[in-house]
């Protein structure tokens, strides 16, 4: 079997792609690659996140996660996003014994966005 390097793109449906695109640009630093009436394409570190216009947002069972290099970065992101007015769904939790540290926020369409760090096993 051939080996893939990484997941490079995720496309989701949103009734307001521009608004959701602004959320990801503002909260996480995604750069807008393209935008028109049909949707918006964002990019961060080689990963493309796209939102296509649709009547109902793709969100049931969907969670987007951003992996951090340390548990301290998870806490720093939580503090930064809170300071900038983003509402956390839950504060950072977890430790080495639990295996990970994370927190979540929700995007404008209600999708869960996790910021997490997995401790080495």
The CATH homologous superfamily for domain 61-121 is: 2,3-Dihydroxybiphenyl 1,2-Dioxygenase, domain 1 (3.10.180.10)
Can you tell me the mean pLDDT for 50-58?
93
CATH architecture entry for 1-58: Sandwich (2.60)
Can you tell me the mean pLDDT for 19-33?
96
Q: Which two tokens stand for residue 106?
A: 């929700």
- For residues 37 and 17, give the distance between their C-alpha atoms in angstroms, rounded to a whole number: 9
- Whether the per-residue pLDDT at 4 is higher than 80: the answer is no
- Whether the per-residue pLDDT at 108 is higher than 80: the answer is yes
- Whether the per-residue pLDDT at 6 is higher than 80: the answer is no
Q: What is the pTM of this model?
A: 0.86
Instruction: Write the secondary structure of 7-40 as one string of H (helix), E (strand) and C (coil).
Output: CCEEEEEECCHHHHHHHHHHHHCCEEEEEECCEE
- Whether the per-residue pLDDT at 3 is higher than 90: the answer is no
The predicted structure's pLDDT at residue 71: 95
């Amino acid at each position: 079997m051939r080996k893939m390097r990484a997941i490079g793109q995720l496309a989701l449906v949103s009734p307001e792609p521009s608004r959701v695109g602004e959320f990801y640009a503002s909260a996480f630093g995604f750069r807008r690659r393209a935008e028109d009436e049909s949707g918006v394409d964002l990019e961060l570190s080689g990963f493309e996140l796209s939102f296509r216009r649709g009547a109902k947002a793709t969100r049931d069972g969907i969670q987007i996660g951003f992996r951090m290099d340390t548990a301290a970065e998870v806490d720093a992101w939580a503090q930064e996003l809170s300071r900038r007015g983003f509402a956390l769904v839950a504060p950072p939790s977890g430790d080495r014994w639990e295996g990970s540290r994370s927190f979540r926020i929700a995007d404008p369409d209600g999708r869960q966005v996790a910021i997490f760090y997995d401790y080495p096993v």
